[in-house]
């Protein structure tokens, strides 16, 4: 019985993690470049001098990026990429 209960709890936890990840799929290209730089959301938010919670909302599409924020992101990611590429909205 304990094994089954633990399995169910782990499965629920895994599903919660997947759901949170899917919420962050608004800007797949930006997210891919963050991964290539080896940065997670918290590290990246710090690098662009933004609160983690604010960055997370913007990445999920719940809030919009301002031009100055987009410029900071581009500086951290690298100027090799266009705004159109980095901020292309993905379908959810």
Domain ranges of the chain: 2-86
Question: Using one digit for the tens of pLDDT, what is the confidence trace for 29-44?
Answer: 999 999 999 999 999 9
Taking the alpha carbons at both ends of the chain, their separation in whole angstroms is 38
User: Do the Cβ atoms of 53 and 40 come closer than 8 Å?
Assistant: no
Question: Using one digit for the tens of pLDDT, what is the confidence trace for 7-16?
Answer: 666 655 655 5
The 3-state secondary structure of 48-84, one letter per residue: CCCCHHHHHHHHCCCCCCCHHHHHHHHHHHCCCCCHH
* CATH code, residues 2-86: 1.10.260
Digit-by-digit pLDDT tens for the chain (92 residues) are 576 666 666 655 655 554 454 455 689 999 999 999 999 999 999 999 999 999 999 999 899 999 999 999 999 998 899 999 999 988 65
């Amino acid at each position: 019985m304990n094994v089954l209960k633990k399995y169910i709890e782990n499965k629920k936890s895994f599903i919660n993690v997947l759901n949170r990840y899917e919420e962050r799929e608004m800007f797949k290209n930006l997210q891919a470049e963050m991964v290539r730089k080896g940065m997670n959301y918290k590290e990246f938010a710090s690098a662009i001098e933004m609160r983690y919670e604010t960055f997370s909302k913007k990445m999920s599409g719940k809030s919009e990026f301002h031009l100055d924020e987009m410029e900071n992101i581009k500086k951290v990611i690298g100027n090799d990429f266009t705004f159109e590429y980095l901020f292309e909205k993905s379908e959810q």
